[in-house]
Every structure is written in structure tokens, then in C-alpha cells.
């Protein structure tokens, strides 16, 4: 990139300009994609190029431009044109009245997540937002893409339509589609299957104990159950892109595909496999809820800054509610397994102090600065809109079902929201969402929404579970005095990774990241901590020795009674006929 004085002129609209991207990877072990963008029929003295700072579905500014290097602009004869970077994600080229321009850059790709790019000697994978520039005012123009694998046996998997007669050349109708369509390149294993008359594929990279026949069988059931809820499949084909990794976990939804990252040996163990299917159900559900049915704030993506909404509790939380329910409806597991999964989520929620600090709507709005930027204090001052949104959705479903004897449910809310706002992708407001839920419930839910979305009032689980013959109970009360820390052994050190707010440890001045050395002068570690605490009683004062920022400190800590920490949703004894009917109508036999 050569230095030049910035030419700050408004970007004109060029409906005749054509855009052609090429992505090559001649030395995949270098982790560098080589990208070129050809712009033809350009008609201005300047060309502005901007790199997205985030990708839809993952609400964090990730600064993808930081991976770009070797940016160069040339004319049709190969002459280098002056260019300058005007901001973190904005390059400007002085075109010298050339109508044909060629931009080239290399992009470092060594981050194996579902929302970034990864390239090594075994495969290449990229997300559009993390690799491509957009040209302001040309976001609606079609974009041609050619992918050049490094060797002949590498194949390209994507749902972008291929151009006939051209190898590995595809067309995106606009920039949003280019962003929404990930590309996998390599010697991946491909397993094709058909559901409801439409082609689907599992595209699997790397080795593990993934069992394609069983996965196809169970995926088919999940697809059929979700399609029934929304009245069909809104795509022509669908790819499940699966990256098998050492310990990764995650998913990112797209309109006609999803990318999943899962531990490579996480498919034989029944419980781990069920967790995988819940991930599949979650990301597939998103092809309706979020990708097409989305808040007005996300109706048109602004790729340069945060897109704020208080409705992520519905986008992600309601999807999380269904991701453990769908496999039950599909017959993949039974009611007992479902209640076990739900109990785990409730248990996790009730053990996060931040639920008493951050309201659900605020959690959604602050996703950009909190959810993906966790620190040692996060559990004390925030709650996930995935988790609490899931449990608020549970209460709403039970409320609607109980009032209408299972003839209505949250399913009807989803179907109505889809018809009104999702099918035509017009976007909904928080008010429209709440009004639709209240319409299906035939009830004024203003107080419900205020209590459980706008404040931190505790969720009254048993009030909503009781009509279905269920109750939330404390599994056991701990007889171990309460200190209020989580301890982790790291490199022969005992590191305090979390200190609960208002706990005995917090009151005494113990901090996260302190190194715990001893209790009452005797060394202690993560494995022996609870056993040591059993030697004391509630209200005993102990001497806790720590290294705090390399300073040796011994602090007096008065132990307290341990709060409940283990909960379970269980079936009540002696259910009434109405409770039995309600429970069967919700969860089957």
C-alpha cells in the first residue's frame, strides 16, 4: 500500500460496475488466503473499500480488518495506484480515472471458529464478513466468486450457485448473501441425503468418531419436526458444515447452511451425542428464527458498527428453549432425558449471581460488550440472554399451554411471527413481539414482560411447572461451610478463578486471580479445598493465605452457610388427571 493524501469524496452509485472476487491459497500451511477483487466499469476518481467488523449471528465487534496485509491497488495494465487507509476498516484508492481496477491483499486465517477463517495444510474455510470488502452503495450488486484450491483433490463446498461451465466459480446476488454463505475447501467427507424432497448434506472436515448414518437419521427427524412447525422448508438445499476439533464447540447459522464445531470424539458417548444434536437443532431452528424472522435492528445489517436490540432473548433464548425440546419431539430421546437437560439449564441459571443484577433486555442490548467479553467478575454482574431467554420462553410456553389446555403454545407464537414478519423478512419491534405473544395467549402480559425482561425479579418456576405436575426442588443442601470461590489448578499453582459477590471471600478482600496457598497455615489445593472446609463450622473464622499480585497476604475469613447449589425439575407425587393431561400434552408420554 502506498501513501497518498486521502481524497474524501462521496461514493457515487455505480449500477453498471461489476465485482469479481478470487480467493486462492497457494501455500495453505502459511495460513494466508490470497484475495483479489476486480472492479470493472468504475466511474469515479476514488474507490472506497470497507471491511465488516462483525458477522451476523455473533454479536461482537471482531475487527476482521486486523488480519489484512499486503494491500495493493492496480489499474488494468498493472500500474500500482495510490491508496490510503482512512480508518481501521476503510481503504481508499485513487483510481486516476481508470474504469478497471484490481485490488489484492493477503489475509491471515488461523482461527478455527464458526465465525472466522481457517487455513492450513488440510483445508480452508472462510466466512464472507471476515474475508471480503464491501463497496459502499454497491452492496446490492451481484458478486462473482472464484475459489482456487491449492491442489487438484481439494473440492469446494458451498451453497452459492455455481456458474455452469466454470470450475469453482459461483455467484452471490448481493453482499449480504456473500456474507451469509461460508465456503469449505479441502478433502472433506460429504454425506448427501434428502428430506421433504430437498437435498441436504453433511460436510465433515477432519477425523473423529462421527457416525454419518446415525447423524443423518437423527438430523432428518429434527428437520421434519422443525419444518412442520413453520410450514415447510424455506430453501432449495442445505449444508451442515462440521469441523471436528480437539475441544471446540459452537455453531453459526446461515439461511441455507450452518457451521458447527464439535469435539472430534464427542459422538459415541450418548450424552455428548445428544448435546451435539441439540446444537444441530439450535442452528437449524435459526434458519427461521434470526436469519429470516429477526428484529428490525437486524433487518438491514450495518457491518461497520454494533446493531443494538433488546430482542436477542427471543432470537437466541427461545431458540435455546426449542433446541432441547425438538429432539424429544423427534423421538431421539425421552421425557426423562429432556427433564434432565432442562434441570441442568435451570441449575446453571440459579448458580449465576448476575441474574440478580442484569435484566434480560439489558443482557440482549449489551451483548456487544459483555456476553463475548467475559472476565473473572462476569458471573457476578451479568446473565446470558441465551440462558435466561430460554427459561423465560419456558414460562411463556407453559403459561399459554395451561390457559388453553395445550390447544395453544409457544409454537403458535413462532408460526404467527413467521407469517407476519419472517416470511417476507420485514423485521419486528419488541412491541410487536410482545403483542403477538399476548395475542396467542389471549392475555395481558405487560406485567410478565416487565418482571422477567425489564427487572431482575426471580423467575417463579414452580408457579408455572405445577399445572404440569412438575416442581423444582433443591437436590441437596451442602453441609460444607461457604467460602465463595472457584479454584483451578494451573501450572502447579492454585488460582482463584471466581469470587462470588458478597461471599465471605469477597468480604475479606480475596480477588479472582489470587493464588491460594493455605488455610490456617496448612497448604490447600483445588482437590482438597472442600475436604478442608468440612473441618470447620458456619461462623468459624479461618486464616486464608494468598499471593495477591505477588504480595503475600493472610486474611481473616468468616465462613457462612452454603446456599443451595443443586436443583432438579421432578415429577410430583399423586398427579391429578388435569396435571397428567397437561404434562402429556406438552412432553408426551
Q: What is the pLDDT of residues 502-524, one digit of tens each?
A: 999 999 999 999 999 999 999 99
The CATH code of the domain that includes 270 is: 1.10.390.10
Please give the pLDDT value at position 476. Answer: 74
The verdict on 323 and 426 lying in the same domain is yes
Q: What is the number of other CB atoms lying within 10 angstroms of the CB of residue 192? A: 11
Q: Is residue 332 part of a domain?
A: yes
Question: 269 pLDDT band (50/70/90 cuts)?
Answer: very high
Which residues does residue 251 pair with via DSSP β-bridges, in sequence order? 260
Tell me what the mean pLDDT of segment 157-183 comes to: 97
pLDDT tens column, 423-439: 999 999 999 999 999 99
Tell me what the mean pLDDT of segment 67-87 comes to: 97
Tell me what the mean pLDDT of segment 27-42 comes to: 98
The verdict on 41 and 172 lying in the same domain is yes
Cell matching residue 370: 459483555
Helix, strand or coil, per DSSP, at residue 300: coil
Dihedral (CA of 524, 530, 532, 536) sign: positive
Tell me what the mean pLDDT of segment 404-422 comes to: 98
The verdict on 195 and 176 lying in the same domain is no
Q: Is residue 264 part of a domain?
A: yes
Instruction: Determine the Cα–Cα distance for residues 67 and 107; give it in Å rounded to an integer.
Output: 5
Please give the pLDDT value at position 7. Answer: 39
Q: Which of 341-355, 360-374, 404-418, 476-490 has the lowest mean pLDDT?
A: 476-490
Q: Which residue has the higher pLDDT, 15 or 156?
A: 156
Tell me what the mean pLDDT of segment 140-150 comes to: 98
Please give the pLDDT value at position 5. Answer: 36
Please give the pLDDT value at position 16. Answer: 65
Distances in whole angstroms, Cα of residue 330 to Cα of each of 337, 410, 577: 13, 17, 26
The domain boundary, picked from 168, 186, 204, lies at 186
Question: How many domains does the chain fold into?
Answer: 4
Sequence-ordered list of residues with C-beta below 8 angstroms from that of 145, at least 6 positions apart, any chain: 20, 21, 22, 23, 160, 169, 170, 171, 172, 178
pLDDT tens column, 477-504: 788 999 999 999 999 999 999 999 999 9
pLDDT tens column, 529-588: 999 999 999 999 999 999 999 999 999 999 999 998 899 999 999 999 999 999 999 999
The verdict on 362 and 271 lying in the same domain is no
The verdict on 66 and 175 lying in the same domain is yes
The verdict on 422 and 302 lying in the same domain is yes
Cell matching residue 476: 441437596
Q: Is residue 416 part of a domain?
A: yes
The verdict on 307 and 445 lying in the same domain is yes
Whether 50 contacts 89, CB under 8 Å = yes
Sequence-ordered list of residues with C-beta below 8 angstroms from that of 246, at least 6 positions apart, any chain: 263, 264
Dihedral (CA of 151, 154, 160, 166) sign: positive
The verdict on 45 and 179 lying in the same domain is yes
Statement: residue 10 has pLDDT above 80: no
Please give the pLDDT value at position 17. Answer: 85
Statement: residue 375 has pLDDT above 70: yes
Cα angle value 455/456/462 (rounded, 5°):
115
Q: Is residue 99 part of a domain?
A: yes
User: Please, what is the end-to-end C-alpha distance for the chain in angstroms?
Assistant: 67
Tell me what the mean pLDDT of segment 313-319 comes to: 98
The verdict on 310 and 411 lying in the same domain is yes
Q: Is residue 368 part of a domain?
A: yes
Share of the chain above pLDDT 90, in %: 95
The CATH code of the domain that includes 130 is: 2.60.40.3650
How long, in residues, is the chain?
589
The verdict on 397 and 353 lying in the same domain is yes
* Domain that includes residue 465, residue range: 296-473
The CATH code of the domain that includes 504 is: 2.30.42.10
Please give the pLDDT value at position 299. Answer: 93
Share of the chain above pLDDT 70, in %: 97
Q: Is residue 373 part of a domain?
A: yes
Provide the strand spans (E) within 54-188: 68-75, 83-87, 90-94, 101-108, 118-119, 123-126, 143-148, 155-157, 169-172, 183-186
Q: Is residue 173 part of a domain?
A: yes
The domain boundary, picked from 285, 316, 350, lies at 285
Question: 2 pLDDT band (50/70/90 cuts)?
Answer: very low
Statement: residue 48 has pLDDT above 90: yes
Q: Where are the alpha helices (DSSP H) in 404-449?
A: 410-417, 430-441, 446-449
Sequence-ordered list of residues with C-beta below 8 angstroms from that of 484, at least 6 positions apart, any chain: 499, 500, 503, 504, 505, 506, 560
Tell me what the mean pLDDT of segment 233-237 comes to: 98
pLDDT tens column, 96-114: 999 999 999 999 999 999 9
The domain boundary, picked from 473, 497, 517, lies at 473
Nearest to 588 by CA among 217, 331, 245, 343: 331
Q: Is residue 579 part of a domain?
A: no
Instruction: Determine the Cα–Cα distance for residues 505 and 483; give it in Å rounded to an integer.
Output: 6
Whether 439 contacts 416, CB under 8 Å = yes
The verdict on 43 and 146 lying in the same domain is yes
Please give the pLDDT value at position 478. Answer: 82
Q: Is 152 left (phi over 0), alpha (psi -120 to 50) or beta?
A: alpha
Mean pLDDT of the chain: 95
Instruction: Determine the Cα–Cα distance for residues 322 and 254; give it in Å rounded to an integer.
Output: 18
The verdict on 332 and 399 lying in the same domain is yes
Please give the pLDDT value at position 15. Answer: 54
Amino acid at each position: 500500500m502506498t501513501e497518498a493524501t486521502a481524497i474524501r469524496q462521496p461514493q457515487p452509485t455505480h449500477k453498471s460496475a461489476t465485482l469479481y472476487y478470487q480467493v486462492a491459497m497457494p501455500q495453505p500451511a502459511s495460513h494466508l488466503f490470497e484475495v483479489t477483487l476486480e472492479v470493472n466499469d468504475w466511474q469515479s476518481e476514488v474507490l472506497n473499500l470497507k471491511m465488516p467488523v462483525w458477522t451476523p449471528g455473533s454479536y461482537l465487534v471482531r475487527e476482521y480488518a486486523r488480519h489484512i496485509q499486503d494491500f495493493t491497488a492496480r489499474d488494468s495494465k498493472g500500474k500500482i495506484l495510490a491508496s490510503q487507509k482512512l480508518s481501521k476498516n476503510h481503504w481508499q484508492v485513487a483510481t486516476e480515472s481508470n474504469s478497471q481496477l484490481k485490488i489484492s491483499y493477503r489475509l491471515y486465517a488461523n482461527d478455527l471458529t464458526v465465525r472466522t477463517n481457517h487455513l492450513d495444510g488440510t483445508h480452508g474455510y472462510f466466512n464472507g464478513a471476515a474475508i471480503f470488502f464491501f463497496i459502499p452503495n454497491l452492496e446490492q450488486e451481484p458478486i462473482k466468486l472464484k475459489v482456487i484450491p491449492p491442489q487438484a483433490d481439494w473440492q469446494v463446498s458451498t451453497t452459492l450457485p455455481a456458474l455452469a461451465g466454470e470450475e469453482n466459480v459461483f455467484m452471490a446476488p448481493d453482499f449480504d448473501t456473500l456474507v451469509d454463505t461460508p465456503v469449505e475447501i479441502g478433502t472433506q467427507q460429504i454425506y448427501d441425503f434428502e428430506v421433504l424432497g430437498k437435498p441436504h448434506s453433511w460436510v465433515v472436515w477432519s477425523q473423529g468418531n462421527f457416525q454419518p448414518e446415525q447423524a443423518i437419521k437423527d438430523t432428518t427427524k429434527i428437520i421434519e419436526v422443525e419444518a412442520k412447525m413453520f410450514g415447510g422448508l424455506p430453501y432449495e438445499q442445505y449444508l451442515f458444515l462440521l469441523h471436528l476439533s480437539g475441544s471446540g464447540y459452537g455453531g453459526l447459522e446461515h439461511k441455507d447452511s450452518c457451521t458447527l464445531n464439535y469435539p472430534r470424539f464427542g459422538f459415541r458417548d450418548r450424552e455428548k451425542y445428544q448435546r451435539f444434536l441439540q446444537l444441530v437443532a439450535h442452528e437449524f431452528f435459526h434458519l427461521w428464527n434470526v436469519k429470516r424472522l429477526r428484529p428490525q435492528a437486524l433487518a438491514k445489517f450495518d457491518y461497520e458498527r454494533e446493531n443494538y436490540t433488546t430482542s436477542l432473548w427471543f432470537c437466541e433464548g427461545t431458540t435455546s428453549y426449542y433446541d432441547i425440546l425438538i429432539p424429544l419431539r423427534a423421538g431421539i430421546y425421552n421425557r426423562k432425558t429432556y427433564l434432565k437437560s432442562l434441570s441442568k439449564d435451570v441449575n446453571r441459571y440459579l448458580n449465576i449471581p448476575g441474574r440478580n443484577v442484569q435484566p434480560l433486555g439489558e443482557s440482549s442490548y449489551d451483548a456487544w460488550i459483555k456476553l463475548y467479553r467475559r472476565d473473572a467478575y462476569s458471573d457476578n454482574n451479568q446473565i446470558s440472554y441465551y440462558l435466561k431467554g430460554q427459561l423465560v420462553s419456558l414460562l411463556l410456553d407453559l403459561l399459554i399451554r395451561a390457559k388453553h389446555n395445550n390447544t395453544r403454545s409457544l409454537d403458535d407464537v413462532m408460526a404467527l411471527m413467521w407469517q407476519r414478519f419472517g416470511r417476507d423478512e420485514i423485521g419486528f419491534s419488541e412491541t410487536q413481539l410482545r403483542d403477538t405473544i399476548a395475542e396467542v395467549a389471549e392475555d395481558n402480559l405487560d406485567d410478565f414482560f416487565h418482571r422477567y425482561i425489564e427487572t431482575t425479579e426471580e423467575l417463579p418456576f414452580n408457579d408455572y411447572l405445577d399445572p404440569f405436575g412438575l416442581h423444582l426442588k433443591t437436590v441437596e443442601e451442602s453441609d460444607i461451610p461457604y467460602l465463595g470461590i472457584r479454584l483451578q489448578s494451573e501450572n502447579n499453582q492454585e488460582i482463584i478463578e471466581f469470587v462470588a459477590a458478597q461471599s465471605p471471600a469477597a468480604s475479606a478482600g480475596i480477588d479472582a486471580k489470587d493464588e491460594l496457598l493455605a488455610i490456617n497455615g496448612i497448604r490447600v489445593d483445588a482437590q482438597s479445598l472442600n475436604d478442608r472446609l468440612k473441618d470447620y463450622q458456619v461462623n468459624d473464622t479461618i486464616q486464608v493465605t494468598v499471593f495477591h499480585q505477588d504480595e503475600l497476604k493472610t486474611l481473616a475469613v468468616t465462613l457462612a452457610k452454603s446456599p443451595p447449589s443443586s436443583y432438579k425439575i421432578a415429577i410430583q407425587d399423586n398427579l391429578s388427571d388435569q396435571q397428567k393431561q397437561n404434562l402429556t400434552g406438552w412432553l408426551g408420554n
